[in-house]
Amino acid sequence: MSYNLKIMRTIKALQKFQHAIVAVDTVIFCVAENKLKILLIEMKRAPYTGKWAIPGGLVMPDESLEESVVRHLKTKTGLSGFYFEQLHAFGKVDRDYRGRVVSVAFLSLLSSDQVNLKTSADYADIKWFDVNRVPKLAYDHKEILATALLRLRARIGHTNVIGGLLPDKFTLSELQQAYELILGKTLDKRNFRKKILATKMLVETKEKFIGSFRPAVLYKFKDKKIKEVNIL
Amino acid sequence: MSYNLKIMRTIKALQKFQHAIVAVDTVIFCVAENKLKILLIEMKRAPYTGKWAIPGGLVMPDESLEESVVRHLKTKTGLSGFYFEQLHAFGKVDRDYRGRVVSVAFLSLLSSDQVNLKTSADYADIKWFDVNRVPKLAYDHKEILATALLRLRARIGHTNVIGGLLPDKFTLSELQQAYELILGKTLDKRNFRKKILATKMLVETKEKFIGSFRPAVLYKFKDKKIKEVNIL
DNA sequence: TCAAAAGTGTTCGTGCTACACCCATGC
DNA sequence: GCATGGGTGTAGCACGAACACTTTTGA
C-alpha cells in the first residue's frame, strides 16, 4: 500500500501551487467501563511511525467534508452510522511536517453497542484510550482533543447530543454517569432526575433493567434528532 | 491585474492532484445608523461579475488561517486591528463553480469608529448593507451569513464580544440598542441595566455624553479580552 | 438479613420578569 | 416650560441547590 506515499507526493506537488489543502479529523468519544474514552490509531509510516493520532485523512474534490469523514472512518475503523458535528478548523502552518494541510476537526459520539472496530493495513493499531490517559499525539492532535473535550462539556448542557453515547435503552443512573464522566464531577441524584425529566427528552419504556439488585426503569430518547434543550 | 486568473489556473492545476484547497471568508458586522450592518464586496471577474460576496480569499502555505484573514481584509478593505473568531468551515462540493474550495468562515465585529474603507482595484465596489436587506450573494455566502447571525446572537448572551461593535466609550442606551439590533427584539431598560452591571464587565468613566438632553454616563469595558460571562 | 443500587420531596435562596415615574438638559 | 432620552426599585414567581431515607431485589 502506497497511500501515504501518494499523499506525500501530492502534498509536495501542491507546494508548487502555493495553496493549502484540506483534511478532516474526527474525535470519537465513547463511554465504557466507567470511563470516557477516545479512539486513536497508531501510525505506521515515517515521519510519524509509532505515534498515535486522531483518525482522519485528506478531502477529495468530489466529496463534502461530511462525506469525507464518513469515508475515512469507514475505511480506517470500520465504523458507520454515528452522530458527528463540526468542531473547529485547525490551520497552523507547521501542524503537519509533510506540508501545508488545514484540518477540519469533527466531534463524534458513539454508543458502546455500536463499537465494532476493524483493523486496517495502513495502521499499526487502533484502540480506545481513557481521555485522562492518552499517549503523546502526532500533529496538533493534543490541541484538537482539548478543544473537543471543552466543546463536548458545553454541548451536553444545552442539547440532547449525549444520546449518541448511550445504547438505545438505558437507566437514569447510566445517563447520570455519562454526564458525570464528561463533566468530571458528581451530580446530585434527585436534582439530576428532576431536571432531566423536566426537559421531556426521555420516555419511560415498559422494560426494566434486571441486575443483581433492584430493577431500574429503562428510558429512551424521544427524538434521535439533535436539538437545543436547556438541561443542566 | 491577473490575480483571479491566476487563482483559476491554480485551481485547475489542483484538480489534477485530486485534493481540495482552502480559503477564508470573514463576515464583518458593524452597528451604525441604528442598524446591524455587514460588509460586502462586489465582484468584477467572471463568472461572478456583479455579484456581492463576503470578503475573503485563498490561504497561502506560509500563513495560518488567522494570518490569512488579516492579509485579505487588509488588502481588500483596508481594515485592520479588529476582533474576529472562527465560525465554521463550509465544504460542499459545488460551493464554488471554479473548483473545489473549502472555506473557513470567520465572524468579525467592528466598531463604527474603526471603519475606514479602502477600495481595491480587484473589486467593483465595497459597501455596508443592512443585514435585513442584503443583495443576492455569490457562492454559498447566504448560508455563511445565516450561520454568522445565529452565532452572533448566541455569543452576545454568553461573552463580552459585543464590545467589538462599540466605540471605546459608550452609554448604556447605546449598548442596549446594539443588543436589541442583534437579537431583533426590544429589552426592558431597567432589567437590562441591572443585568449588564451585575456582570462587572463595565466600568463607569468620569465622562458624560452631552447630547441635546440629559447627559448620559459613559461606560467602557473593563477588559478587552473576550471571556465567558453570563449576560442575558 | 444484608449488600447494593433505585427511587423519591421539601426548604431556602437566588435570579428573572413585569412594570411606571421622576430627573436633567437644551431649546 | 416642554420635549426628549437618562435614570431608578419592588413584588411575585420560577428555578436551582442542598440534603437523607425508604424500597426492591439477589445472594
Binary contact (A20, B60; C-beta < 8 A)? yes
Residue B223 DSSP SS3: coil
In chain B, the residue whose alpha carbon lies closest to the alpha carbon of A10 is: B17
Binary contact (A65, B91; C-beta < 8 A)? yes
Strands A83-90 and A56-58: unpaired
- Cell numbers for B155, please give them: 455569543
Contacts of A217 (CB under 8 A, 6+ apart): A171, A172, A204, A205, A208, A209
- Residue with grid cell 479580552, as numbered in its chain: B225
Percent helix / strand / coil, chain A, rounded to 5 = 35, 30, 35
B173 CA, C20 C1': separation in Å?
Answer: 19
A6 pLDDT higher than 90 = no
Residues B91-141 have pLDDT tens digits of 999 998 878 999 999 999 999 777 777 877 778 899 999 999 999 999 999
Torsion-angle region of residue A199: left (phi > 0), alpha (psi -120 to 50) or beta? alpha
CB of B230 within 8 Å of any CB in chain A?
no
B38 pLDDT higher than 90 = yes
Q: Are B29 and B175 in contact (CB under 8 A)?
A: no
- Cell numbers for A36, please give them: 470516557
Strands B21-32 and B101-110: parallel
* Residue range A183-193: mean pLDDT, rounded: 96
Determine the protein residue whose CA lies at the shortest distance from the C1' of C10: A190
Per-residue pLDDT, A1 = 42
- Nearest-angstrom CA–CA distance, B218 and B210: 10
Cis peptide before A47 (omega within 30 of 0): yes
A230 pLDDT higher than 50 = yes
Q: Which residues in chain A (80-109) have CB-CB distances under 8 A to chain B?
A: 86, 88-89, 91-93, 99-100, 102, 104
Contacts of A126 (CB under 8 A, 6+ apart): A39, A40, A41, A42, A55, A76, A77, A117, A119, A120
Per-residue pLDDT, A105 = 98
Q: Are A67 and A61 in contact (CB under 8 A)?
A: no
Q: Which of B20, B27, B59, B65 is nearest to B155 (CA)?
A: B27
Kindly state the percentage of chain A with pLDDT values over 90: 72
Q: Could you give the residue ranges of the DSSP H alpha helices within A83-198?
A: 141-156, 172-183, 189-198
- Cell numbers for B213, please give them: 438632553
- Residue with grid cell 515515517, as numbered in its chain: A46
Specify the higher pLDDT residue, A145 or B4.
A145
Residues B179-222 have pLDDT tens digits of 999 999 999 999 999 999 999 999 999 999 998 899 999 999 99
- Nearest-angstrom CA–CA distance, B232 and B230: 6
pTM value is 0.91
Residues B127-175 have pLDDT tens digits of 999 999 999 999 999 999 999 999 999 999 999 999 999 999 999 999 9
Per-residue pLDDT, B123 = 85
Q: What DSSP element (H or E) covers B76?
A: helix B65-77
Q: Are A63 and A75 in contact (CB under 8 A)?
A: no
A94 pLDDT higher than 50 = yes
Beta bridge partners of residue B57, listed in sequence order = B24
Q: What is the mean pLDDT of chain A?
A: 90
Per-residue pLDDT, B72 = 95
- Nearest-angstrom CA–CA distance, B89 and B142: 14
Torsions phi, psi for A192 (to 5 deg): -60, -50
Per-residue pLDDT, B98 = 79
Residue A57 DSSP SS3: strand
Lowest mean pLDDT among A31-35, A179-183, B226-230: B226-230
pLDDT band at B1 (very low <50, low <70, confident <90, very high): very low
Lowest mean pLDDT among A22-31, A58-67, B11-20: B11-20
Binary contact (B10, A19; C-beta < 8 A)? yes
Kindly state the percentage of chain B with pLDDT values over 70: 92
Residue B190 DSSP SS3: helix
Residues B44-91 have pLDDT tens digits of 887 888 999 999 999 999 999 999 999 999 998 888 888 999 999 999
Specify the higher pLDDT residue, A112 or A221.
A221
- Nearest-angstrom CA–CA distance, A159 and A227: 6
Residue A147 DSSP SS3: helix
Q: Within its chain, how far is the Cα of B213 from the centroid?
A: 33
Strand C proximal residues, B:136-195, Cβ < 7 Å: 188-191, 194-195
Q: Which of A24, A34, A86, A33 is nearest to A55 (CA)?
A: A24
**Strand D footprint at Cβ < 7 Å?**
A 188-191, 195, 198, 210, 212-215, 230; B 171-173, 189-191, 193-194, 208, 211, 213-217
Per-residue pLDDT, B17 = 54
* Residue range A48-52: mean pLDDT, rounded: 91
Q: Within its chain, how far is the Cα of B206 from the centroid?
A: 31
Per-residue pLDDT, B10 = 54
In chain A, the residue whose alpha carbon lies closest to the alpha carbon of B87 is: A88
Burial letters for A30-39: b for 16+ Cβ neighbours within 10 Å, e otherwise?
Answer: bbeeeebbbb
Q: Are B178 and B31 in contact (CB under 8 A)?
A: yes
Residue A2 DSSP SS3: coil
- Cell numbers for A206, please give them: 415498559
Specify the higher pLDDT residue, B232 or B4.
B232
Residue B95 DSSP SS3: coil
- Residue with grid cell 459520539, as numbered in its chain: A109
- Nearest-angstrom CA–CA distance, B176 and B174: 5
Q: Within its chain, how far is the Cα of A12 from the centroid?
A: 30
B108 CA, D4 C1': separation in Å?
Answer: 34
Which nucleotide lies nearest residue B190, CA to C1'? D8
What one-letter code names the amino acid at A104? V
Q: Are A52 and A40 in contact (CB under 8 A)?
A: yes
